[in-house]
Amino acid sequence: MQENMTALVSLFARAWHTEHALLPVHTDPLARPLLGEHYDLIARHMAQGIGYFSPGFEGTEEDALTHIVTRHLAPSPVGRSAFWEDALRTAVPLGTTQVLLLGAGYDTFPYRQPKWAEGLTIFELDRPEDQSGKLARLERAGIPIPQNVRHVTADLTDPDWSAALTEAGFSPKKSTFCCLMGVVHYLPRTLFPKVLSTLRDLMPTGSSLVFDYPTPRLSQVQIDLAQGAGEPIRGLYTFRELEFLLPRHGFLVYEHLTPADITARFFAGHNALSPNRAMEAAPGVNYCLGVKKDRMP
């Protein structure tokens, strides 16, 4: 079974950032145990690729790895984790009782969940090969699966993917927080609206949806990395398109962050303590929080 390299590299970036940042943007203590022996393999491979990321770079292999992770690999996974977990923490006191992670990948929130999340039911949905790979890693690392976590095997390209959720106990009557972070990039443009429509039918009024999406300003490095990992970027969107698309499928844009907004909110503290390792949000990637409404204007 070939594992999802995009998900593994994101996991590596979270692990490295957790261990090396003076003030981490986001902390993921389970990332390194989940990676196991792949941590060193990915680190070595990335450091050896410094010529692509920064031609003419001078420094040690450790310097090269620090440069690559800080500038290119970590901003997206640590930024979006900080964003969606903050949004969930806000949603729980407002009545959220279910969490739906679509394309969950190697996200570790369900296995390091804080006290305030223990009353939630968390559904992880992913493709069969990705789900089995993650479960195998959890077992090898000795990471227990909490009682409130449900694993659902389904592919978003399957028109009936929501049926698998229902069978696993997902309730369309319970206020839900749905996370699509790191997924929209790889959905065909014709599929994203269908996913939104399905979520509209699955979640009651007041439910939340968070996602990041690529814009026409996406850097070539990000496009190349995705292509090289076997998961090419399938569609780029403008904010004007999102303003039209979300209401059409039952959601209002509640919050929207550009790269400048993301850097100011999540990276400022880190950058103040580590100016020589300053991080900026990935160019051309915006964050969005939508809220389900029954009647649209």
pLDDT value at residue 297: 47
Say if residue 213's pLDDT is above 90: yes
Q: How confident is the model at residue 174 (pLDDT cuts 50, 70, 90)?
A: very high
pLDDT at 296 over 60: no
Between CA 113 and CA 109 the distance in angstroms is 5
For position 150, what pLDDT does the model report? 97
Buried residues in 95-117 as b, exposed as e (16+ CB within 10 A): ebebbbbbbbbbbbbbbebeeeb
pLDDT of residue 277: 94
Q: What is the model's pTM?
A: 0.94
- At 254, is the pLDDT very low, low, confident or very high (cuts 50, 70, 90)? very high
Residue 219, pLDDT score = 78
Q: Supply the pLDDT for residue 53.
A: 87
- pLDDT at position 234: 86
Give the separation between CA 185 and CA 45, rounded to whole angstroms. Answer: 24
As assigned by CATH, the class of the 79-292 domain is: alpha beta
Q: Is the pLDDT of residue 143 over 60?
A: yes
**Can you tell me the mean pLDDT for 46-70?**
92
pLDDT recorded at residue 221: 77
**What's the pLDDT at 230?**
72
Name which of 30-34, 55-59, 64-68 the model is least confident about.
Answer: 55-59
**pLDDT beyond 70 at 166:** yes
Give how far the C-alpha of residue 288 lies from the chain's centroid of Cα atoms, to the nearest Å: 12
Q: Which stretch of DSSP H or E encloses residue 248?
A: helix 239-248
Write down the domain spans for the chain.
5-73, 79-292
